[in-house]
Chains A and B, each alone.
Chain A
Amino acid sequence: QKEVEQDPGPLSVPEGAIVSLNCTYSNSAFQYFMWYRQYSRKGPELLMYTYSSGNKEDGRFTAQVDKSSKYISLFIRDSQPSDSATYLCALQNTGFQKLVFGTGTRLLVSP
């Protein structure tokens, strides 16, 4: 079983839709949960950073962590064509340098 599972997509939605992106994981020691956005032929950039369980909101983006289910989500409200990118979840243990990445979900938002 992979440490982190993420549907590769592509996920195609119309502009204005609410998007839900998800990852599941197997290691209960993960405490730090991140979402990176990667545009085509660019490096990943951090979008959301959450410690432990709960929700975090930043503008149109909301990150949720459910440690009991080992499930994390990223919601995008009022999606825009500029949101078209690959979204990677990344998880980390406390005190560890290494990030464990999901494979990424490709999102396409059409005008």
Chain B
Amino acid sequence: NAGVTQTPKFRILKIGQSMTLQCTQDMNHNYMYWYRQDPGMGLKLIYYSVGAGITDKGEVPNGYNVSRSTTEDFPLRLELAAPSQTSVYFCASSPGTNNEQFFGPGTRLTVL
């Protein structure tokens, strides 16, 4: 089992560019999450999904979009990148509510 994988590991974007952060899990988990982690700020939930075709906003969804067409994949789309989106992005998955969340290795994004 690879667990939760994320690509790319690093990316530098210019202001106004767009990109998709990829997340895949091979544990057949229904629940998937996207977080961002800024220095000294902990993890903030961006979006989450409780199953294919179902997504919902988290704490900080502005500037991001998600889709969930399969159980395995949960891509995060950044439209019109801004410097405020410079962060480390983590994808996580969980078998259900009130279960352990398994995290991917993260994507470090810099917007200049």
Contacts and interface: CB of A to CB of B under 8 A. Distances in A.
Interface string A75-95: 000000000000010001011
Interface residues of B, number: 25
Contacts of A102: 42
Nearest to B35: A101
Contact of A43 (B44, B90, B97): B90
B42 A42 contact: no
A69 interface: no
Contacts of A95: 97-98
Contacts of B101: 46, 99
Interface residues of A, number: 25
B98 A44 contact: no
Interface of B: 4, 31, 33, 40-45, 48, 50, 58-59, 90, 92, 94, 97-98, 100-106
27 contacts: A4-B42, A8-B40, A31-B98, A32-B98, A41-B106, A42-B106, A43-B90, A43-B104, A43-B105, A44-B43, A44-B103, A46-B100, A46-B101, A46-B102, A49-B100, A95-B98, A97-B31, A97-B33, A97-B48, A97-B94, A97-B97, A98-B45, A99-B43, A99-B45, A102-B42, A103-B42, A104-B42
